[in-house]
Structure formats: structure tokens, C-alpha cells
């Protein structure tokens, strides 16, 4: 698929923001920017980084297993819509993980207004990229992806967890009702 100039511009912007906001931060490590250090935030930052990094790895692990990736191809060549596992909670775990492992972690490790501003900008850019990605996925997977979009949020992992729990609850209630009916016989 050929990328447009605007797609290339977005990718460059995301790359620059990711470098400037990377947790091993070049602005802080070179002494250009001085920040405060709070041990509690630093520890929380490590937890957030690990969580985000796990999300970043999701498609690399799941697509070859469940996405019908042809042998010898990379995970981006998925041929089937994957909507299980983390993909039943959030449609774009890799992008979401990037927000956690780069923008949020950097702000926790190096609390400074510049990282808050850049994190917001970076998150908005990623959100807009996800909107474009969704259009591409609708073209690729059609109505199945449209229904998937209605069921699973793009980046909001907390809403995704709530929805996943709600989807399972009616099933569990039916099983209990069936078990209760059987026990009354």
C-alpha cells in the first residue's frame, strides 16, 4: 500500500515526538533540561513502562498465531481479523502501549511541563493515526471490522476492560441459570 505525503508526515512527527519523549530521554541525559526526581513516580513509571511495552508486543506475538500470517512473513501481513485476547479489550494495543511506555512513562520519570505538553501532542497524533488505520482496516476486513469497532474501543483500555467484563457477564448468568434449572430437576 502506497503511503500519502500526509501519512509520511504523521509518521515523521510520531518518530520525532517518540525520540524527544523517550524514557531514556536525550534532553534530560544531555543536561539540556533539568527535572525533579521523585522515587515513587519513578517506580510507578517502571510499572507503566512494563505495561505499555507488553501492549507494544501484542501484535508481534498474536498476529502470527491468530492472524493468518503467511509463513515467512512479518506480523503486519495478517490476513484474519484478530479480536481475541488483548484485541477483545482494545483495537490498537501497540499504539496504546506506545502512549503508556513513551509519553506517560517519560512524564512520570521526568516531571516537567514540556513532557506533559509533548505527551498530549503525541497522544493526539497517535489518535489521529489510529483513525486512519481504522479506515484501512475497514477496507481490508469490511463489515467485520466495523462491528469490531462498535464493540471494542480504539485506545481506551479501561473502557475496553469494562466492556469485556460486561460481554462475559450475560454468558455467565446464562450458565448459572442453566445450572440452577438442572439442579431443580
The answer, yes or no, to whether residue 135 has pLDDT greater than 60, is yes
Q: How confident is the model at residue 42 (pLDDT cuts 50, 70, 90)?
A: very high
> Model confidence at 185, in pLDDT bands (50, 70, 90)?
low
* Lowest-confidence pick of 64-73, 90-99, 111-120: 64-73
Residue 3 confidence class, pLDDT cut points 50, 70, 90: low
Q: How confident is the model at residue 149 (pLDDT cuts 50, 70, 90)?
A: very high
Q: What would the pLDDT profile of 5-24 be if each residue is shown by its tens digit?
A: 777 777 777 777 777 667 77
pLDDT for position 172:
55
CATH top class, domain 5-184 = mainly alpha
d(CA 21, CA 16): 8
Q: What angle do CA 158, 136, 90 make, to 5 degrees?
A: 10
Angle of CA points 84, 53, 25, to nearest 5°: 155
Amino acid at each position: 500500500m502506497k503511503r500519502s505525503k500526509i501519512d509520511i508526515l504523521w509518521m515523521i512527527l510520531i518518530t520525532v515526538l517518540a525520540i524527544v519523549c523517550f524514557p531514556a530521554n536525550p534532553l534530560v541525559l544531555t543536561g539540556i533540561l533539568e527535572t525533579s526526581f521523585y522515587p515513587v513516580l519513578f517506580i510507578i513509571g517502571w510499572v507503566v513502562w512494563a505495561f505499555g511495552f507488553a501492549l507494544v508486543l501484542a501484535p508481534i506475538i498474536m498476529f502470527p498465531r491468530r492472524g493468518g500470517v503467511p509463513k515467512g512473513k512479518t506480523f503486519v501481513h495478517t490476513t484474519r481479523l484478530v479480536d481475541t485476547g488483548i484485541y477483545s479489550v482494545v483495537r490498537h494495543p501497540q499504539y496504546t502501549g506506545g502512549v503508556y511506555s513513551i509519553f506517560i512513562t517519560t512524564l512520570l520519570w521526568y516531571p516537567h511541563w514540556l513532557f506533559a505538553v509533548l505527551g498530549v501532542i503525541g497522544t493526539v497524533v497517535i489518535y489521529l493515526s489510529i483513525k486512519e488505520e481504522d479506515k484501512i482496516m475497514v477496507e481490508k476486513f469490511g463489515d467485520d471490522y466495523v462491528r469490531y469497532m462498535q464493540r471494542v474501543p480504539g485506545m481506551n483500555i479501561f473502557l475496553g476492560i469494562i466492556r469485556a467484563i460486561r460481554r462475559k457477564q450475560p454468558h455467565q448468568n446464562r450458565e448459572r441459570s442453566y445450572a440452577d434449572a438442572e439442579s431443580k430437576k
